Amino acid sequence: MADSCAGRVALVTGGSRGIGAAIAVRLAAEGAAVAVTARTLDRHPRLPGSLAETVAAITAAGGTAIAIAADLSEPASRPAVVAEVERRLGPVDVLVNNAAAAYYMPVERVTEKRYRIAFELNVRAPFELMQLVLPGMRARRRGWIVNISSATAEPPQGPPFAAFHRHGGALLYGGTKAALDRMSAGVAAEVYDDGVAVNALAPVAAVRTPGVEALGMLPEDRPDLIEPMEVMVEAALALATGDPARLTGRIAYSRPLLAELGRVPRTLDGREVVEERR
């Protein structure tokens, strides 16, 4: 294990599988005590991975981790999660807002319930979690917040419009991520003088996760459009450990960020360089 996060407490939402679980494992490998939260502690009825498995992977490697089951689309759960982390591990130094509801459907099919859940989980929950951890970060004059975004936050270019935007149904998910991007940059400006970094991070291509595979959105015939998990995780780690005086207020994309910083992706235990296939 390396030690870029030694002595720090990290909270990762959506930590039962996919990008959230991978970021949690890497932060722990770098020495952080990690709290992961998602709706259920044990196995999902349809998707692989669970909070219990994430914690087991971290502890088996010698790290420290706890699991907190919570539905972050419910407002009452957010202060309860932060209070539990502080009680069991200490004040939060690194917050990774990864949990999201990824609804892909045309505008006519967006129900009131789906609209509400998308904005509660993708926008309001990250906003409130930032509100809850920022007073302590500002008082300690250190902190890192990484909000996981998406390329769908970029508005469609046209006319004519690409087929994905005509038929992909990403408007609700992309709209929430656009709000998250703007919110991240705004908070970064407000807390800059207090030594706290706030950034948004998106992959440049589809990341192979259980959720993306379940949606059938991986372009298996175009491996160049699939991003290795380690690329996204390395970029998240860079934003979670960078100098807040310099690396903040970014709406960043994974691969370009690593190129700018001169970093290469490493395995989730941080021990080996990952060779990407082009």
Give me 254's structure tokens. Answer: 């994974």
Active site residue 113: no
Residue of 149, 150, 184, 254 marked active site: 149
Residue of 4, 50, 150, 173 marked active site: 173
Cβ pair 188, 198 in contact under 8 A: yes
Give the count of alpha carbons within 13 A of 42, CB side only: 1
Residue of 177, 184, 253, 254 marked active site: 177
- The CA distances from residue 4 to 8, 63, 88, in Å, are 9, 14, 22
- The CA distances from residue 142 to 5, 66, 78, 148, in Å, are 12, 22, 22, 20
> Who's near 120: CB < 8 A, 6+ residues apart?
72, 73, 74, 75
DSSP tag of 124:
I
Active site residue 115: no
Burial 92-128 (b: 16+ CB within 10 A, else e): bbbbbbbbbbbbeeeeeeeeeeeeebbbbbbbbbbbb
What is the C-alpha separation between 18 and 16, in angstroms, rounded? Answer: 7
Active site residue 149: yes
What is the C-alpha separation between 105 and 147, in angstroms, rounded? Answer: 23
Cβ pair 173, 165 in contact under 8 A: no
Cite the active site residues.
149, 173, 177
